[in-house]
Structures are given as structure tokens and as C-alpha cells.
């Protein structure tokens, strides 16, 4: 009975995907940091995922994505693995093969693309001011379930 229960659990996992939190708006800086609100959102993400049993965290190497992933990384004591947003096929295949609860922090165009690939459901790119969306792609036996969650934080300018 134990063997079947543990193999059942191994077949069930979730991948969480989000865009980086709010970034500084600077025309000259191609690699901006998070705003104060963005840092609060990143901490909120860590709190939201505190009971999700995250085993891996992926982020692009940009400051804004790394800073979004950092609070969960520190909280769970998991190092952040970097991926190149120009080579999404590699990360998408790796996520499916790893079969572990994972957070992926990306960008307005790449996050929906990865979620669409994993879930098989069409998704649109995020609008420039959309930072609150968190996709959960659940793999339960042979079924894939996409859930779109919304972080409650609303930043006022």
C-alpha cells in the first residue's frame, strides 16, 4: 500500500508561473530593479506559496525576475535556477520531466507561453500593467488543470 501511495503522489505536482513583480520605469535601464510595491508583491508571493511544497525555483537572470523569486528562495532555502527566455523549449521540457512542485518567474510574454505549453490551453500575453496573475498548472495522473490565481495586492500610484 505504501508503494502505491508514494507513486501516486509522485504523479501529482504543480507548476506555478508568474511574471516578475512591478519594475522601475526607466527608459535608460534595460535591467531595472523592482519598485517598493514590487518587493511587497514578491514577499506576498512567497507567503502565498509557503504551503505549496515548492522544490524548485526558476528565473531569468534579469534583476526584476531574480528579485521576485528571492523571497521564496530564502524562505524555502532553495537556490534559484536560471533559464534563458530565448530558449523556452528547453525549460518547458525540463519542467514536465522534473515532475516537482516548481515556481517559474518570467516576463509578460514568456509566462503565458510556458503556461500555454504546459496546460494545452491558449493564453494571451500580459498587459504592461498586469503583475498580479499567478498560473497554477496541476498535473494529476493524466489530467492537466490550469488555474489562474490573482494576488490580492493592488499598488496605488
- Pick the range with the lowest mean pLDDT from 13-22, 133-142, 146-155: 146-155
9-140 falls under which CATH superfamily?
Phosphoglycerate mutase-like (3.40.50.1240)
The answer, as to whether pTM is greater than 0.85, is: yes
Q: pLDDT by residue (tens digit) across 97-126?
A: 999 999 999 999 999 999 999 999 999 999
Number of C-beta neighbours around residue 126 at 10 A:
19
Asked if residues 116 and 122 have their Cβ atoms less than 8 Å apart, the reply is yes
Asked if residues 83 and 107 have their Cβ atoms less than 8 Å apart, the reply is no
Q: pLDDT by residue (tens digit) across 64-74?
A: 999 999 999 99
Asked if residues 91 and 107 have their Cβ atoms less than 8 Å apart, the reply is no
- Cα distance between residue 45 and residue 71, in whole Å: 8
- Cα distance between residue 40 and residue 156, in whole Å: 13
Q: pLDDT by residue (tens digit) across 125-146?
A: 999 889 999 999 999 988 999 9
**pLDDT in the model for residue 157:** 57
- Cα distance between residue 155 and residue 157, in whole Å: 6
Domain limits, the chain: 9-140
Amino acid at each position: 500500500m505504501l508503494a502505491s501511495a508514494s507513486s501516486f503522489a509522485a504523479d501529482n505536482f504543480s507548476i506555478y508561473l508568474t511574471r516578475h513583480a512591478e519594475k522601475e520605469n526607466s527608459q535608460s535601464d534595460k535591467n531595472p530593479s523592482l519598485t517598493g510595491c514590487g518587493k511587497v508583491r514578491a514577499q506576498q508571493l512567497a507567503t502565498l506559496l509557503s504551503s505549496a511544497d515548492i522544490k524548485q525555483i526558476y528565473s531569468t537572470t534579469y534583476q526584476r525576475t531574480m528579485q521576485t523569486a528571492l523571497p521564496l528562495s530564502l524562505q524555502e532555502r532553495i537556490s534559484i535556477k536560471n533559464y534563458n527566455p530565448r530558449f523556452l523549449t528547453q525549460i518547458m521540457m525540463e519542467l514536465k520531466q522534473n515532475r516537482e512542485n516548481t515556481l517559474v518567474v518570467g516576463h509578460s510574454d514568456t509566462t503565458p507561453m510556458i503556461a500555454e505549453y504546459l496546460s494545452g490551453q491558449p493564453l494571451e500575453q500580459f498587459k504592461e500593467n498586469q503583475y498580479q496573475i499567478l498560473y497554477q498548472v496541476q498535473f494529476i495522473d493524466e489530467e492537466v488543470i490550469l488555474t489562474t490565481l490573482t494576488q490580492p495586492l493592488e499598488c496605488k500610484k
